Amino acid sequence: MHGLWQRMFHRRAWLSCLLSLSCLVVADELSTSPRLESDMCLERGCMALVQMRDADGWWGNVRDTSYVLIALDMVGFEGNLEPLRPVYENARKRIRTELEAGTFRTTPDLAAAIRALSRAPHERAFLRKQGALLAKMDFSTCSPLELLEIADALFLTDSWRIDNAGERLLQALAKADGVPALACNAMKGIQNLPVIPPAQIPPETWVWYARARLCVPKSDETRWRDPLVVHLLESQAQDGAWGTHDRLRATASAIAAIVHARQ
């Protein structure tokens, strides 16, 4: 279970950027034209995210800000996105300062701060201390989506085994359904995961669906990769965002899901 969970959540397109999964494969199925289309889609999505920030350069709260920073870093800051780098760096520095000051006292907020900073190798020692604190906190009242974020933070800081945090988290997540349940089964090493039609997946969980699917055999990938990417390309709004209710979370989730699906 531990090894498969690390494949899903520890290496990510996110240790070169919140840390890629060891089971990622290069997908040659996407031709040059769709690849270019998805590049443009990602660029527009990143621009839309930056437009959603508050006047102080924040995105409402640390959880939403962490999703934005992860998405921006996964895409990178080349070409037209280079001007976004200072926005990213300033928000990241603020999270680092507040984390060091002990501002983030709830379990979801602490997990979010850890995830937002986890791409920087020089932060590992500091984040491991934060992960040890996180592992000792109570998960019982957290939502399924918060539990996935916490699980991610625990693995990023090698804290899964502290105070039996991993088992406690899986027990809490076992009550979930939909994509969180799928992710929970992937953590447990279950290979026969159902394919969910992309249109039926809540937008904020697109990224978690992609990450869970990456833990199944390569022979299964054509059943989910192309349908997910096509759905995301087709459902992007003209302003570059996704979703109708929580557009910020939906947009960040879509960007990360596309990056995962096409690697």
Residue with tokens 């932060």: 123
**pLDDT-derived band of residue 245, with 50, 70 and 90 as boundaries?**
confident
Other beta carbons within 10 angstroms of residue 51's beta carbon come to: 10
Q: Check the CA dihedral 259-110-176-189 and report its sign.
A: positive
Helix (H, G, I), strand (E, B) or coil at 139: coil
Sketch the domain layout of the chain as residue ranges. 2-261
Cβ–Cβ under 8 Å, residues 164 and 193 = no
pTM across the whole model: 0.86
**The amino acid at 117:** L
Q: Does the structure show a pLDDT above 90 at 243?
A: yes
For the segment 195-222, the average pLDDT, to the nearest whole number, is: 87
Collapsing DSSP to helix, strand or coil, 71 comes out as helix
DSSP letter for each residue of 33-74: HHHHHHHHHHHHHHHHHHHTS-TTS--SSHHHHHHHHHHHHH
